[in-house]
Amino acid sequence: MEPPHTSELYVGVDVGGTNLRAGVVDPEGRILGEARRPALADQGMRRSVEQTIEAIQEAIGNAGYQPTDIRGIGMGVPGGHDSKQGICLFSPNFADSRNVPVTPPVQEATGLPTFMLNDVFVTTLGEHRFGAGRGCDNVVMITLGTGIGGGAIIDGRLPLGHTEGFAEVGHMTIDPDGPVCGCSNRGCWEALAGRDAIIARAVTKIQHGRKTEIAEKVHYRLGSITPALIAHCAEEGDPVALEVMAETGYYVGLGVANLIQIYNPEVLIVGGGIAQSGKVLFDPMRRTVQARAHMVPASTCRITPAELGDDAGVIGGAALVALRLG
């Protein structure tokens, strides 16, 4: 296959709290070469930017190209940003992250136009253009992990909001008397359906004397329990694990039903590590949405897992460049 014209190549960067990844992406969303680095988040956002520059340069070389072959760089970075200025305002997973320039040093080092957005916005762009949202003008995406993130395509556009806080769905109140969230509100969606909430439900049941494979598989070291383990035990038919996943699916479904009423999407995409739980999460979630979404009926929206997996951030970064440069 002939390589694409050089003006149609992009670099996408997915910056995580633990690792970061850069990849050269073609117009069909294929990753042609990549590089990874530890994010070194404990050393601060500036250090992570240095790691990003190294990964970008290595990824371009691994793909067999030169920087002059690349149209631009698109970065997905967790936290709140002033993306027009390319500044991270604050990212909770990174030390020393307040008001740190991100895109200016990358652009200076590479000589390439560089753009950034919140990581979930970038993932949403990737799924919209190349994944589960292909061909749809109204798409909502949520990511289920340590927290719950959100992004949306409305009438074919990616809205950011006044302070780039559009679709901060993890912090809508689901239960006003619920647990305290890390944001200091009570009963936020992610406080009920994020990673720690799922684990806490399992631990509480074990501490109340419930017998379960979850505890046996970690030799009763309850601090080693993960949502993936709970989902695995649920798939094997463990009653406690099934109960935990049913409760989680219920809470996820409440939020999804709300989003369908607010955004009226054609498709709602569920991504993130916890979404890999499969039927034990999606079945109770869909039942809850069916029971709760009426004014905008549940039947008007297709609820589906994300398609791009770990590639979504890199591919979405490329989609961001294409969007910005036209």
pLDDT digits (tens, 9 = 90+) for 103-116: 999 999 999 999 99
Contacts of 254 (CB under 8 A, 6+ apart): 174, 189, 288, 292
CATH 3.30.420.40 maps onto the chain at: 6-126+311-325, 135-306
Are 302 and 308 spatial neighbours (Cβ–Cβ below 8 Å)? no
How far is Cα 47 from Cα 318, in angstroms, rounded to an integer? 23
pLDDT beyond 80 at 2: no
From the CB of residue 180, how many other CB atoms can be counted at a distance below 10 Å? 11
Q: For residue range 141-173, list pLDDT tens digits in order.
A: 999 998 999 999 999 999 999 999 999 999 999
* 275-289 confidence digits (pLDDT tens): 999 999 999 999 999
Which one-letter DSSP state was computed for residue 209? T
The H or E element that residue 141 is part of is: strand 139-144
pLDDT grade for 1, boundaries at 50, 70 and 90? very low
The CATH code of the domain at 6-126+311-325 is: 3.30.420.40
Rounded CA gap, 146 and 15, in Å? 16
Q: Which helix (H) or strand (E) holds 128?
A: helix 119-130
Band (pLDDT 50/70/90 cuts) for residue 3 is low
pLDDT at 5 over 70: no
Segment 209-214 mean pLDDT: 97
CATH node for 135-306: 3.30.420.40
Q: Please write the tens of the pLDDT for every residue from 177-196.
A: 999 998 999 999 999 999 99
Average pLDDT over residues 94-98: 94
Tell me which of 2 and 75 has the higher pLDDT: 75
Cα(237)–Cα(143) distance, integer angstroms: 26
pLDDT of residue 90: 94
Q: What pTM does this model have?
A: 0.93
pLDDT of residue 150: 96
Cα 69 to chain center, whole Å?
29
Closest to 154 in 3D by CA, of 139, 134, 166, 169:
139
Model confidence at 93, in pLDDT bands (50, 70, 90)? confident
First to last CA, the chain: 25
Residue 274: pLDDT band by 50, 70, 90 thresholds? very high
Mean pLDDT, to the nearest integer, of 1-27? 84
Please give the mean pLDDT across all residues of the chain.
96
Confidence class for position 92, pLDDT limits 50, 70, 90: confident
